[in-house]
Amino acid sequence: MTEMMSLITEDGSAPAYSGGLSDEALLRCYRTMLLVRAFDDICMKLQRSGRIGFSVPNKGVEGTQVGAASALRSTDLFFPSYRDFGMALYHGVRPAAMMNNMFGNAGDSAKGRQMPVHFSFVDPIKYFSISSPIGTHLPQAVGAAYASTLRGEDTVTLVSFGDGGTSSLGFHSGLNFAGVWKSPVIFLCQNNGWAISCPSEGQTASDGYAIKAKAYGMPGITVDGNDVLAVNQAVAEAAERARRGEGPTLIEAHTYRMGGHSTSDDPTKYVPKEELEAWAAKDPVLRLRRHLDSRGLWSEDLEARLVKECSEEVTAAVREAEAQPAPALETVFSDVYESVPDHLRRQGEQAFDLARRKGDAAAGDGAFPL
Amino acid sequence: MATLTLLQAVNDALRTKMRQDDSVLVFGEDVGPKGGVFLATEGLTAEFGAKRCFDTPLSEDGIIGTAIGMAANGLRPVCEIQFQDFIFPAFDQIVSEAAKLRYRSGGQYTAPMVIRTPYGGGIRGGLYHSQSGEAYFAHTAGLKVVIPSTPYDAKGLLIAAIEDPDPVLFMEPKALYRSVKGEVPEGHYTVDLSTTRTVREGKDVTVFCYGAMVPVCEKAAAAAAEQGVETHVVDLRTLLPLDEEAVLDAARRTGRVVVVHEAPRFCGFGAEISALIAEHAIEYMEAPVRRVTGFDTPFPNTLEHHYMPDERRVLDAIEATASF
Ligand SMILES: Cc1ncc(C[n+]2csc(CCOP(=O)(O)OP(=O)(O)O)c2C)c(N)n1
Ligand SMILES: [Mg+2]
């Protein structure tokens, strides 16, 4: 493994941190991480009680998400993975907007068409529509960055993927193109130890993932993914290089998935208990709390207040999402193309007619409006 | 005889062949210690060791590409693609390579291998955990495409697929994995590929279906019977090569045909059945062929129950065809 950058020390201080996060920004990072945890937690409960169908645990990886997001501008482009709640929340996506996706309701920005955790936002940040097929978004990010460059913008594109994602075809073509084009792209590989049940050793024989950058002609950096400051600094440096026209960077963030792969997974079948315990001690929230404390920015009172606020915010998000109806039937047929072709219009009319006869036309279906 | 779910029957088929033939091996994402995300391969690593049932890196192209090499060099790989929706990175390996190896080498090299993959909707899987992509593959000369709908067939067809000298795409209806149970003989038996199964006899309307649509059509046929319409239901089981004579016989029998699949309509497998009948049995037909299918849209999530053909849609088509 290339040498791992880690900045928050045992006692919470971070003398080597040279990044630009102000006290206020640090507190925002911390609050966002607590918000991710609250959001994650309530989604697990909603799934267990059958109110939503699916979720993916984010516990343990919040440091990487928030460290990276906080190093970028809200005008930069995000090509996230499904396990990146903190990137959206840091930049001000409302928990309720995300919760609407979890419920797949009429308020969902993707109209309830996708599974939970497959977010898509254009506001307040460009958070590219998430696809399930792993690795497809890497070359797409490189293309988006090409467009930014061609227009003379100094936008940076961040693409986030897992250790498993490095085995995809898109990893190779994405890094290869970005190297050749000197694209302003940051490839953020979140090595969280597992790709479902496949440990990192089963994914690659190379000594870590950052080293793969060499073959594509770009710098590769390994960073302590549970250290918000280290991730922030690594991403900030990569962003500066990108904005200077010096090309892409591959960053491997060493972190850990502290839950199962998803609500459909039982990690006790394959994750060694000791491994989980060892990583629990390196919890990114604890690490940042220690740092804030060392700077006099943290107190028990603050903690209690933030936890309460975050919990209220996600509870309100659930209430808002549950008040939304299911999407209207026409959403099955719209957005396939910009305008609805005749054959789809006919299929839609038949579907609506049948729904009405069966009595399961929902509120909002109305006359078929295509 | 044991009563098994379709999922258990798949597991039983793999175990049966692995016990009988050392050259059979199983690999793919998460199929080892975890036993696969649906548990189809549960216990295989424990019984046969990690050289014969193992996890791979996350690469469908790698999985199927290596399977081709193994098959060409004396093994009988049975690889799993976790969801059929994720098979497309390997489209090239399947379509350009596995399917064409025998032909392009003048029969000197072959790829006797099986690609197992769960397909279809009904689990709230949205766009990418629900698709029925059989038509892409049924368009591929050199490949066989098999879709079981009962535990008995799942085991017998899978064993036949493993023993088959050509590459077989074995698509498993995930909606039926645990919802259908049936008697399954112990040990080795096969169900011939390229044969259809008559699910129910009837003289009025013929319904062609496969996979997860079979139980839906059975229910619709039962409801039609209450109204005095006798439906002849045929499970196609092997889409490629298709038993064309059996299809034509069943069509001629009633002169009225409905074809049902979850996949989108346009260029779907129903179009092939319909064309076959138009070419060879038009003089027997009393009504136009009707198709009940998924819509020509991506697969939705929350509203998937509208997308998937259900008993009501099939019954409507049976009634309209019967009374045409
Ligand atoms: C092409 C493709 N193959 C298989 C899957 C099924 N699948 C979903 S997530 C996953 C593991 C991903 O692991 P990793 O890239 O490390 O990301 P993590 O879930 O750990 O964040 C797999 C195999 C998929 N979504 N896409
Ligand atoms: Mg991972």
How close does chain A come to B53, measured CA to CA in Å?
Answer: 14
What are the pLDDT digits (tens) for A259-272? 999 999 999 999 99
pLDDT band at A364 (very low <50, low <70, confident <90, very high): low
- C-alpha distance from residue B289 to each of B229, B311, B312, B319 (Å): 17, 18, 18, 13
What are the pLDDT digits (tens) for A169-224? 999 999 999 999 999 999 999 999 999 999 999 999 999 999 999 999 999 999 99
Q: Which residue in A37, A91, A254, A261 is the catalytic one?
A: A261
Name the residue type at position A302.
L
Q: Is there a contact between B58 and A165 (Cβ–Cβ < 8 Å)?
A: yes
What are the pLDDT digits (tens) for B227-250? 999 999 999 999 999 999 999 999
Assess whether pLDDT exceeds 90 at residue B14.
yes
- Nearest chain B alpha carbon to A340: B297
Q: Is there a contact between B101 and B112 (Cβ–Cβ < 8 Å)?
A: no
Nearest ligand 1 atom to alpha carbon A196: 11
- Report yes or no: B307 at the A interface, CB cutoff 8 Å: yes
pLDDT at A357: 86
**Nearest to B152, CA basis, from B162, B140, B160, B144:** B160
**Nearest to A87, CA basis, from A101, A102, A72:** A72
**Nearest to A196, CA basis, from B160, B38, B78:** B38
What are the pLDDT digits (tens) for A276-329? 999 999 999 999 999 999 999 999 999 999 999 999 999 999 999 999 999 999
pLDDT band at A363 (very low <50, low <70, confident <90, very high): low
pLDDT at A370: 57
- Report yes or no: A50 at the B interface, CB cutoff 8 Å: no
How close does chain A come to B23, measured CA to CA in Å?
Answer: 23
- ipTM over 0.85 threshold: yes
The token pair that represents A91 in the structure block: 């930049």
What are the pLDDT digits (tens) for B39-65? 999 999 999 999 999 999 999 999 999
Helix (H) or strand (E) holding A141: helix A137-150
**Nearest to A67, CA basis, from A216, A204, A225, A194:** A225
CA separation for the pair B239, B272 (Å, rounded): 10
Q: Is there a contact between A33 and A59 (Cβ–Cβ < 8 Å)?
A: no
Pocket lining: A128 vs ligand 1, CB cutoff 6 Å: no
pLDDT at A369: 55
pLDDT at A366: 58
Interface test with B, best of A130, A194, A332 (most B CBs within 10 A): A332
The token pair that represents A340 in the structure block: 């609805």
Per-residue pLDDT averaged across B64-93, rounded?
98
Q: Is there a contact between B259 and B287 (Cβ–Cβ < 8 Å)?
A: no
Per-residue pLDDT averaged across A124-146, rounded?
98
Report the mean per-residue pLDDT for chain A. 96
CA separation for the pair A81, A163 (Å, rounded): 12
pLDDT at A360: 77
Name the residue type at position A82.
Y
Active site residues of B: 129
- Nearest chain B alpha carbon to A356: B306
Closest CB to A198 among B30, B128, B297: B30
pLDDT at B110: 98
Residue A90 is among the residues annotated as catalytic for this protein: no
- Report yes or no: A345 at the B interface, CB cutoff 8 Å: no
Assess whether pLDDT exceeds 60 at residue A368.
no
Interface test with A, best of B41, B42, B58 (most A CBs within 10 A): B58
Per-residue pLDDT averaged across B69-76, rounded?
98
CB contact under 8 A, B297 and A165: no
Per-residue pLDDT averaged across A108-137, rounded?
98
Q: For ligand 1, atom 20, name the residue with the nearest CA.
A: A195
Q: Is there a contact between B61 and B30 (Cβ–Cβ < 8 Å)?
A: no
CB contact under 8 A, A331 and B297: no
Report the mean per-residue pLDDT for chain B. 98
Q: CA torsion angle for A225, A213, A161, A256 (degrees, to 10)? A: -30
What are the pLDDT digits (tens) for A62-90? 999 999 999 999 999 999 999 999 999 99
Report the share of chain A in percent with pLDDT over 90: 94
- Report yes or no: A132 at the B interface, CB cutoff 8 Å: yes
CA separation for the pair B280, B39 (Å, rounded): 43
Domains (range + CATH), chain B: 2-184 (3.40.50.970), 197-322 (3.40.50.920)
